[in-house]
Amino acid sequence: MPEMPEVQGLVEFLRGRVTGLEVTRVSVANIAALKTYDPPVDALTGARIAGVARHGKFVDLATTGTDAAPHLVFHLAKAGWLRFYEQLPTTLIRPGKTPIALRVALSDGSGFDLTEAGTKKSLAVYVVRDPADVPGIARLGPDPLDPSFTRDTLAGLLTGRRTQIKGVLRDQATIAGVGNAYSDEILHAAKMSPYALASSLDDADIDRLFQAMTDTLAEAIAEASGKPPAELKDAKRRGMKVHGRRGETCPVCGDEVRSVFFADNSLEYCPTCQTGGKILADRRLSRLLK
Ligand SMILES: [Zn+2]
């Protein structure tokens, strides 16, 4: 799943490549992906792309030159991606028989597809007058890349939160843009258990967590920056020290990276670095054993 650094990479790529171009056609191949009906998708036809922005994990293409001046906003969800073509294929998209959810054709012959692998479709597309009309954007918490997001901002967000820090970091209404992968990486860098209660962190813990978040995201952004969409997923995978690396060696201490499995995902951590050597219970197994 693309998280803030990859989405930021996509945004920078699109900003440099499509700003100023006119939208010549938008084809919706998976109607379930389209979450809005007013303005209609056709309102994008003839509009000129005025800018590209990121809100959390959402991409926002602003347009100009038409009455509605709609924004095309999308969220790639778990298995979605953007495929850019210098020369957009002219083949017909057959709804239901393709991973393509949406195709956007641009005035210089280029264009892009939003694609989604798998059967569980959750990629979401919105055509809105204002990005704040997208509920997921309206409720976003502060963005850690924003210069106004300080150590004290983080401390304020954690105060009184009697929930596990892993869940707090992933909660988009608390902090925008961090998901399952980067929360694993941030907690590993902070040498903190994913199960630590947010409200129980002391000042030194919060200092460490803030530094870990800042460093981890800055490194990932630097890695993603300037890469074409096709290379962003590999760049993300390469940068991971524990996430998705169960059974591999922790690059910091040499211990074995462990997983905890949940219904539809897992987290990874290093026992020596993060839990004082304690192995966290596997939620999936313990449920099966009940
Ligand atoms: Zn370790």
User: Domains along the chain?
Assistant: 4-138 (3.20.190.10), 151-274 (1.10.8.50)
Distance 254 CA to ligand 1 centre (A): 6
pTM of the model: 0.94
Q: Are residues 154 and 210 in contact, defined by beta-carbon separation less than 8 angstroms?
A: yes
pLDDT-based confidence at residue 285 (cuts at 50, 70, 90): low
Q: What percent of the chain has pLDDT over 90?
A: 87
Stretch 73-101: mean pLDDT, rounded?
91
Distance 186 CA to ligand 1 centre (A): 13
Distance 279 CA to ligand 1 centre (A): 13
pLDDT tens-digit readout, 98-119: 899 999 999 999 999 999 988 8
Distance 269 CA to ligand 1 centre (A): 8
pLDDT greater than 80 at residue 189: yes
Distance 6 CA to ligand 1 centre (A): 25
pLDDT greater than 60 at residue 218: yes
pLDDT greater than 60 at residue 264: yes
DSSP per-residue string spanning 129-177? SSGGGSHHHHT----TTSTT--HHHHHHHHTT--SBHHHHHH-TTTSSS
pLDDT-based confidence at residue 290 (cuts at 50, 70, 90): very low
Q: Are residues 70 and 63 in contact, defined by beta-carbon separation less than 8 angstroms?
A: yes
Distance 250 CA to ligand 1 centre (A): 5
Average pLDDT, the chain: 94
Quote the CA–CA distance of 208 and 204 in Å, as a whole number: 6
